[in-house]
Amino acid sequence: MTSPIAGGVDCDLHPAVPHLTSLLPYLNDYWRDQVTTRGMTDLISQSYPTNSPIASRPDWRPAQGKPGSSLADMQRQALDRFGTATGICNPLYGVQMVFSEDMADAFCRALNDWLVKEWLDKDDRLRGSIVIPVQSIEKAVAEIERCAPDKRFVQVLMLVMGDMPLGKRHYWPIYAAAERLGLPIGIHAGSAYHNPPTSVGWGSYHIEDYVAQAQAFQTQLTSLIVEGVFARHPNLKMVMLESGFTWLPPFLWRLHKFWRGVRMETPWVDRAPLEIVRSNIRFSLQPVDAPPDGDTLNRLFDHMQSDELILFSTDYPHWQFDGDEVLPKGLSQDLVRKIMIDNPHATYPRLQVKETTP
Amino acid sequence: MNIQIRERPDGAASTSVKTAIADCDIHPARATKDELHPYLAKRWHSHLETFGVHPYQGMMEGPPYPKAQPNASRRDAYPPEGGPQGSSLSFMQKQHLDPNNVALGVLNPLNTGQGIRNQDLAGAICAAVNDWQIEKWTSKDSRLKGSVVVANEDGVSAAAEIRRRAGDSNFVQVLLLSRNVEPLGQRRYWPIYEAAQEVGLPIGVHAFGFGGNPITASGWPSYYIEEMVGHSQCQQTALASLVLEGVFERFPKLKMVMVEAGFGWAPSLAWRLDKVFARLHAEVPHLKRKPSEYIRDHIWWTTQPMEDPESRDHLFQTIEWIGWDKLLFATDYPHWDYDEPSRVLPAGVSDANRKAFYLDNAKQLYGIA
């Protein structure tokens, strides 16, 4: 086993909203009335069915309620246990899935305010991601600007499967705002289910949806690179969260080869895809889709040709590892320090900020 | 336009040029629009003239993602007698089969009845393409072998077409495309697998096709390069579907070839499948083995477009994770991203592995003496 070191940054923690009624205090009168009058109860995405084994490690599953809904549990099971200095909260509540941009906007605002009050205010190790109503670019940018003065928000959160490929120019105002405000864009596993959850249609099983997250990240990385997002926003960082990363080297071999062949189609892509990934893209550690032997994993890191791409994550409370084996076998102490401390700090400029509240 | 060209080691490659090879992905084309008419009932001649093929995507003429070259093919591959690239047997022999010493060439026709919404028309065109492969190609050059194309969305008619070709040595596989109306593991496609297993033909799954779904799980991308790179993601999800639906439990003798979608992604996909299966096997109790074991036993991979990392060690390690016995050399002739046989495999490969890669694996899989 590779031991974690103290002072790490856990880049993927999932606090759960217990119930839609938990957001009522953060909604205005109109939306509070809508929720109660229309009998809305909860927004649970089938990307993570509450009782699915992947939604919670068995020993992290609470006797009652949703996994990840208790701060005390998160402190004991993740933050204290792995000596974490800073933990970034990425709420996966199904607010991106609704079809109305007005409703999405109201719920995102409530969710972000709930995160501040119920989590960030209660443990100064915690940081947050701004969840945005991607249904409306104007509203998404407004929500980023509303939350950004609180420096405890360290990134903007989007889902890997939405209405359109993420490189599309339609989304660029979001990226401009994030770059301007020093916020990386975190792209997390999960679908809004506005498109079939695989590129070849609807599968039969939950396991298929989960496996397909990795392919969705691959197509999004292609889109982000070839549309020219990083030519326009060279200082923008994007973090692929719960994406897996062992697919990256062969993906880049292929993208690089076709870029060399047909780059006349996208002439603004003026750097090789691997260079763009090195300067602008990062990946969370969990899940590690590799055999459990250290030898294979070290070969994979060698194929990645960089030790700066991976950021420590537990993916708490999702079940990605057992016991204390949050770090895969065979990592050198140097790489552990990079993954747990150096790489996250180089990715999230707001982690350096001492005075966090406006 | 600046194009960076990296020096590649030539090594032992130059010695292998004249060694016999199998090319497991050759695309024959029709010289004229009407070339299938002799194999189609009269009713379809006027139907095609009036309504077109009515595919699962919007364009009547031209591809949704315009290619980088005319017909996505080499500019030097136009036959001297006219017609598009890949439409002349004599020129294919002269430009490719003879100089590269192709001992076995597997034909994968792409413009067939696959991806057509009218299933009667789809079946008629597929049967016609199969007859055309025999008459124009395989009966004229014994090195060439055909692929049985089938109306992929109509399992019953597809299975009948496969059984109609049973025992016909002009054909060595059944051909499907990766993108269909549903993921390929779905039961609507099982009659195809049942028939293929019964007649002893492997199924080639070639990248491409339209099934009405956006070609990414987040909608339609903008560029041809996204479609090209994305073929490997579509192939991954199609393969995951085949494994997770239990196709290889139900049809234990079925063999499948992943054609023109890369192979470098296979280890990572298999590891991910195994890891998630360890958590979620209760949802798919019809699987009796780990997903990676089905892949290892049932799947072969064509090589073009060849994985091309900077370090040949990375390539060799990846192939070792997959198995040297599972790769089938292919050029994709006459398409623009053709792989030159003499330059594909770096130096440092044993003679036995080299021979397996270029010829023996294909002969064994396709049952060619």
Order of strands across the sheet that contains A281-284: A8-13, A84-89, A126-131, A153-161, A185-191, A238-241, A281-284, A310-311
With b for 16 or more beta-carbon neighbours within 10 A and e for fewer, the A256-270 pattern comes to bbbbebbbebbeebe
Contact B369, B103 (CB under 8 A): no
DSSP string for A31-71: HHHHHHHTT------TTS-TTSGGGS-GGG--SSS-TT--H
Range of the domain at B346: 20-366
Is residue B12 in some structural domain?
A: no
By Cβ distance, the residue of B232, B234, B280 closest to A200 is B234
Cβ neighbours of B185 in A, within 8 Å: 203-204
Q: Which residue's entry shows tokens 């020093």?
A: A182
Give B90-104 pLDDT, tens digit per residue: 999 999 999 999 999
B8 inside domain = no
- Whole-number Å distance between alpha carbons of B100 and B95: 8
Other beta carbons less than 10 A from residue A334's beta carbon: 10
Question: What is the assigned CATH class of domain A8-347?
Answer: alpha beta
Q: Cβ of A205 and B186 within 8 Å?
A: no
Contact A211 B282 (CB under 8 A): no
Q: Which residues pair with A186 in a beta bridge?
A: A157, A239
| Residues B363 and B58 sit within 8 Å (Cβ to Cβ) | no
Q: Average pLDDT of A92-112?
A: 97
Q: Is residue B9 part of a domain?
A: no
Confidence band (pLDDT; 50, 70, 90) for A243? very high
DSSP bridge pairs for B148:
B174
β-bridge pairing B203-206 and A310-311? unpaired
Mean pLDDT throughout B157-176?
Answer: 98
Q: Is pLDDT at B10 greater than 60 in this prediction?
A: no
Domain assignment of residue B220, yes or no: yes
Q: What is the domain-level CATH number for residue B159?
A: 3.20.20.140
How far is B353 from B360, CA to CA, in rounded Å?
9
Q: Do B264 and A253 touch (CB under 8 A)?
A: yes
Number of domains in chain B: 1
Cβ–Cβ gap B240/A210 under 8 Å: no
User: Searching chain B, which residue's CA lies closest to the CA of residue A322?
Assistant: B279
Place A292 in a pLDDT band, splitting at 50, 70 and 90. confident
Confidence of residue B6 (pLDDT cuts 50, 70, 90): low
**Residue-averaged pLDDT of chain A:** 96
**Looking at residue B61, what is its pLDDT?**
82
Least Cα distance to A346 among A314, A315, A303, A311 occurs for A311
Q: Where are the domains of chain A?
A: 8-347
Contact check, Cβ <8 Å, B218/A319: no
Nearest to B211 among A201, A211, A272 (CB): A201
Query: Residue A328 has what DSSP assignment?
Result: P
The alpha-helical segments, DSSP class H, found in chain B are: 42-51, 89-92, 119-132, 155-164, 190-199, 224-244, 247-250, 266-280, 291-298, 312-322, 351-355, 361-366
Residues of B in contact with A247 (CB under 8 A): 265, 268-269, 272
Quick: pLDDT tens for B289-342: 999 999 999 999 999 999 999 999 999 999 999 999 999 999 999 999 999 999
Which one of A47, A158, A199 would you mutate to disrupt binding with B, by most B Cβ within 10 Å of its Cβ? Answer: A199
Q: Note whether B356 and B161 are within 8 A (CB).
A: no
Residues A211, B223: C-beta atoms closer than 8 Å: no
Which residues from B are below 8 Å from A251, CB to CB? 229, 232, 265
Distance from CA of B222 to the nearest CA of A (A): 8
pLDDT at residue B8 is higher than 60: no
